[in-house]
Amino acid sequence: MLREYVVSENHESAIELTKRVVESKKNIASSDDYHNWAVDLAELNLYEKACEVLERGLIDYPSSVELLADYLYYSCEINCPQVLKKSREIYDILQSISEEIWTWRAYSFSIEFLLNQRERKFFSDSDEYEGDIERIIDAYYKKFPNDERPYLIHSRIYMRIDEEKKIKILEAAHEKLKTCPICSLRYADVLINNATGVEDYHEIQKYLDKALTQKSDFEVDHGYIYFLRGLCLIHILNENKEYDNANKVQEIYSCFKVAEDDIMRLLPRNIRIMRKEIRILEILSGIRY
Average pLDDT score, the chain: 89
The 8-class DSSP code of residue 219 comes to: -
CATH number for domain 1-144, candidates 1.25.40, 1.10.357, 1.10.10, 3.40.50: 1.25.40
Specify the long-range contacts of residues 267-271, CB closer than 8 Å, at least 24 apart: 270/224, 270/227
Band (pLDDT 50/70/90 cuts) for residue 276 is: very high
Element (H, E) at 1: none
CB atoms within 10 A of CB 273: 15
Task: Find out whether 14 and 7 touch, Cβ atoms under 8 Å.
Answer: no
- Angle subtended by helix axes 65-75 and 81-96, to nearest 10: 150
Q: What confidence category does residue 207 fall into, taking pLDDT thresholds of 50, 70 and 90?
A: very high
CA distances from 130 to 89, 107, 279 (A): 18, 15, 46
pLDDT band at 146 (very low <50, low <70, confident <90, very high): very high
d(C-alpha 134, C-alpha 54), whole Å: 27
Predicted confidence band of residue 4 (pLDDT cuts 50, 70, 90): low
Show Cβ contacts of residue 142 under 8 Å, excluding neighbours closer than 6 positions.
none
Task: Please state the domain extents for the chain.
Answer: 1-144, 221-289
Could you tell me which of 87, 22, 285 has the C-alpha nearest to residue 277? 285
> Looking at residue 217, what DSSP letter applies?
S
Helix-helix angle 104-120:149-157, to 10 degrees: 10
Q: CA angle at residue 217 from 41 to 259, to 5 degrees?
A: 70
Stated pTM of the model: 0.86
194-205: pLDDT as tens digits: 898 999 999 999
